[in-house]
Amino acid sequence: MLIKYVPVLFLLALSIFFAVFVVFLSHLLGPKRVHPVKAAPYECGMISLGPTHQAIPIKYYIIAMLFLVFDLEVVFLYPWAVVFRELGIFGFVEMMIFIFILLLGFIYVWRKGALEWE
Amino acid sequence: MEIFKIQFSAADLKVIAPELVLTIFALFVLILSVFVRRQSRGPLGYTALVGVVIAFFSLFLGIGKEIKAFNGMVTMDPFCLFFKVMFLIVAFLTILASLGYTKREGIDLGEYYVLVLFATVGMMLMASGVNLLIIFLGLEVMSISIYVLAGIMRDDTRSVEAAFKYFLLGAFASAFLLYGIALTYASTGTLDLAGIGEVLTRQAWISSLPIVIIGLALLIIGFGFKIALVPFHMWTPDVYEGAPTSITAFMATGVKAAGFAAFVRVFFYALPNLQAYWTQIMWILAVATMTVGNIIALSQTNIKRMLAYSSIAHAGYIMVAFVAGNELGKSSILFYLLAYVFMNIGAFTVVILLGKKGEENTQLADYAGVGFKHPLLAASMSIFMLSLAGVPPMAGFMAKFYVFSAAVKARYYWLAVIGVLNSAVAAYYYLRVLIYMYFREPERELAVGAFSPSAVLAVIISVWGVLQIGILPSTFLALAQRSVQFLL
């Protein structure tokens, strides 16, 4: 039973060996010329303007959360559209119930004021 | 391309009628809550209460012979019926106890009741699922609602801490459970509990024994976290102390009972052939859980924290019946949980009634002299404490009696002895509450507001439940025995 997985073990060992070997080789052979710009965390892009660990207004999280909910709705709607004819009236009713429940959620966040930016 | 035909009939819907009723009521309360003004939020709790009552009556729609619905995913057997009734009792008593409490603490939000209802739906799915994925789904629906409920007092740092701790550790435990499910699926090729049981009766599975055993261990960890077994209990005291008291009662009874429902169903229904492997583990877990829970409870001065450790210890007693695993053992798990529901919700409701805004008056010293100031309430508290300690003629005594006699019948003599010694230790901290109430002079005035009538009703129902089960246990035991019949 387990003998079937021996090739996987070989491949695992081989890939670990190869990765370590290549990194080691480049460390050994590559030229090392360090200067301040190279030693910085990032070599490209803008120089950072200040500390990046800052509190972000909670509003963004709410938007992200709401986006997730309604994005997932679309994720379910596309496959439904593909097999719309085959599923027939059953699928239609089922999806309407699904959309109705999401609609209730939408009314809830709207009335709660989660969609107001200020 | 062939399309997987989803088919179900009205009969399928009848099986999950109580879940549907609770979901509809939860959505209704949610929408209602954003359309009523802040002052007129009173009816929300009552609407949720009506939902629970209607869900109870909708149970009769699904009663029949043992039927499976939704392609054998969900069942409606006596076992899940017993638990569904228990969850509805828990939800009913919790909402009754919450009505005045939420107002006092300023958390009388519609969302509170919505989440209680959704958590109840999750518990019911856990009890009625006969597919590992449905059980996991139920567990998540329940857990996510409870995470939010634990932190619903947003201004109280302890409440937020409780929610955060519970969420992080709970998500971790869910991952363990899911991994256990995945490994079980990998080794047996099915998620259906009956199917897993069937595969494990054949000889061929021996070749994948290591995977099965690892899966088994992960399942034990996942369920063990939810029912707070030592050593997966670390979250319990902090979460139970920080969460709103009514939610603590809900967690200690409902979540625990749901965890045990799924635990019992998975292990006695799908994995009975592995009993030789898991009995030893359970034996150790039972002893550790009882002993650690009771010994740490001895030194607690906060009543919510004390009840948290006591609930750990009670999970240990139930595990004794789990280890015994005979007919009496299985039915005494159900019996114990039912008795525990009444005594524990009762005790927490008394804590709610004696508290005041900001979760004050939860120290044991605050209970000094209560016996003379509020004699009836103190008498009820004494009944709950004596029942938790296991003194006849309360429900707790009969529950312990059945559990330990199951262990003796299954020849686990040492386990029974350790259990009895533990109950003797436990008597100390339960009786200490009585001593404070009746024999100590109050150090300060216990400024308690007017009692909420609904919470008083919850206490009365709990007292009735504790005495009824304790004095006339045979009807309830017969019910429990009939409920576990199919597991034999």
| DSSP per-residue codes, A44-109 | SSPPP-S-S-----HHHHHHHHHHHHHHHHHHHHHHHHHTHHHHHHHHHHHHHHHHHHHHHHHHHH
Residue B476 inside a domain? The answer is yes
The token duo for B273 is 């052939």
Yes or no, beta carbons of B3 and A83 under 8 Å apart: yes
Sign of CA pseudo-dihedral B249, B167, B121, B318: negative
Main-chain dihedrals φ then ψ at residue B360, nearest 5 degrees: -90, 175
Torsion-angle region of A30 (φ positive above 0: left; ψ -120 to 50: alpha; else: beta): beta
What pLDDT shows up at residue B189? 87
Question: Is A90's Cβ below 8 Å from some Cβ in B?
Answer: yes
Q: Answer yes or no: do B31 and A104 touch at CB < 8 A.
A: yes
Dihedral angle sign, alpha carbons of residues B441, B445, B446, B450: positive
Burial group, residue B401, by CB count within 10 angstroms (0-12, 13-18, 19+): middle
- Report d(CA B194, CA B66) in Å as an integer: 14
Which residue does chain B place closest to A113, by CA atoms? Answer: B34
Question: What are the tokens at B110?
Answer: 């519609």
B33: closest chain A residue by CA: A108
Burial zone of B269 (CB within 10 Å; 0-12 exposed, 13-18 middle, 19+ buried)? middle
Q: What is the pLDDT of residue B1?
A: 40
Give the span between the Cα atoms of B463 and B394, in whole angstroms: 9
In a domain, B203, yes or no: yes
Q: Are B243 and B159 in contact (CB under 8 A)?
A: yes
Q: Are the beta carbons of B31 and A86 separated by less than 8 Å? A: no
Contact B30 A104 (CB under 8 A): yes
A83 vs B: CB within 8 A: yes
Residue B432 within any structural domain of the chain: yes
Task: Note whether residue B3 is domain-resident.
Answer: no
Contact A112 B3 (CB under 8 A): no
A104/B207 CB distance under 8 A: no
Is B249 part of a structural domain of the chain? yes
Residue B74, φ and ψ in degrees, nearest 5: -125, 145
What average pLDDT does the segment A87-104 reach?
Answer: 88
Distance CA(B254)–CA(B479), nearest Å, equals 19
Dihedral angle sign, alpha carbons of residues B198, B203, B207, B211:
positive
Report the alpha-carbon distance of residue B473 to residue B290 in Å, rounded. Answer: 24
Q: What is the nearest CA distance from A18 to chain B, expressed in angstroms?
A: 30
* Angle between the N-to-C axes of helices B327-354 and B303-324, in degrees from 0 to 180, rounded to the nearest 10: 170
The pLDDT of residue B2: 46
Contact B432, B440 (CB under 8 A): no
Give the gyration radius of chain A's Cα atoms. Answer: 27
Q: What SS3 class is residue B441?
A: coil
Asked if B34 and A112 come within 8 Å (Cβ–Cβ), the reply is yes
Measured in angstroms, the CA of B6 and the nearest CA of chain A are apart by: 9
Are B331 and B477 spatial neighbours (Cβ–Cβ below 8 Å)?
Answer: yes
Chain position carrying tokens 């990194």: A23
Q: What is the H or E stretch that residue B74 is in?
A: strand B74-76
Any CB–CB contact under 8 A between A75 and chain B?
Answer: no
pLDDT in tens, A48-72: 677 777 888 888 888 888 888 888 8
Interface test with A, best of B27, B37, B114, B206 (most A CBs within 10 A): B27
- Cβ-based neighbour number of residue A84 at 10 Å: 12
Quick one: tokens of B16?
A: 């999950």
Higher pLDDT, B116 or A117: B116
Which of B454, B447, B461 lies closest to B354, judged by CA?
Answer: B447
Residues B108-120 pLDDT 10s: 888 999 999 999 9
Angle between helices B327-354 and B256-265 (to 10 degrees): 170
Q: Is residue B5 part of a domain?
A: no
Radius of gyration of chain B (CA): 22
Instruction: Compute the distance between CA of residue B46 and CA of residue B83 in angstroms, rounded to an integer.
Output: 23
Please state whether the peptide bond connecting residue B231 to the residue before it is cis, i.e. omega within 30 degrees of 0.
Answer: yes
- Mean pLDDT of chain B, nearest integer: 91
**Numbered residues of chain B with Cβ closer than 8 Å to any chain A Cβ:** 3, 6, 27, 30-31, 34-35, 207-208
pLDDT at B65: 62
Note whether B120 and B87 are within 8 A (CB).
yes
Both tokens assigned to B377: 């309430």
Q: Which helix (H) or strand (E) holds B75?
A: strand B74-76
- B6·A108 Cβ contact <8 A: no
Q: Three-state SS for B399?
A: helix
Residue range(s) defining the domain that contains residue B110: 10-487
Dist. CA B328–CA A97, nearest whole Å: 45
Amino acid at B144: I
- Mind telling me how many Å the CA of B272 is from chain A's nearest CA? 24
A83: which chain B residues are within 8 Å (Cβ-Cβ)? Answer: 3
- Chain A CB contacts of B27 under 8 Å are 101, 104
d(CA B94, CA B116): 9
Counting beta carbons within 10 angstroms of the beta carbon of residue B272, is it exposed (0 to 12), middle (13 to 18) or buried (19 or more)?
middle
Our measurement of the distance from residue B39's CA atom to the centroid of its chain's CA atoms, rounded to an integer in Å, reads 33
pTM of the model: 0.89
The structural domain count of chain B equals: 1
Closest CA to B353 of B42, B99, B101, B46: B101
DSSP structural state of residue B83? H
Preferred mutation among B7, B31, B211 to probe A, highest tally of A CBs within 10 A:
B31
Interchain CB contact of A104 with B (< 8 Å): yes
Is A111 in contact with B35 (Cβ distance < 8 A)? yes
> How far apart are alpha carbons B312 and B302 in whole angstroms?
16
The structure tokens listed for B31 are 């929408």
Neighbours of A104 (CB within 10 A): 13
Does residue B264 lie in a domain region?
A: yes
In a 10 Å sphere around its CB, with 0-12 CB exposed, 13-18 middle and 19+ buried, how is residue B403 labelled?
buried
CA distance B488 to B481: 10
Residues 6+ apart with CB under 8 A from B381: B347, B350, B370, B433, B437
d(CA B125, CA B127): 5
User: What is the interface pTM, i.e. ipTM, of the complex?
Assistant: 0.81
SS3 A42: coil
Give the residues of chain B that fall short of pLDDT 50: 1-3
Whether residue B3 and residue A104 make contact (CB cut-off 8 A), yes or no, is no
Concatenating the DSSP letter of every residue in B369-383 gives THHHHSHHHHHHHHH
Secondary structure letter of residue B451 according to DSSP: P
Residue B34 has its nearest CB partner, among A83, A90, A108, at: A108
Q: Minimal Cα–Cα distance from A80 to chain B, Å?
A: 12
Per CB-CB distance under 8 Å, the chain A contacts of B35 are 111
Residue B1 lies in a domain: no
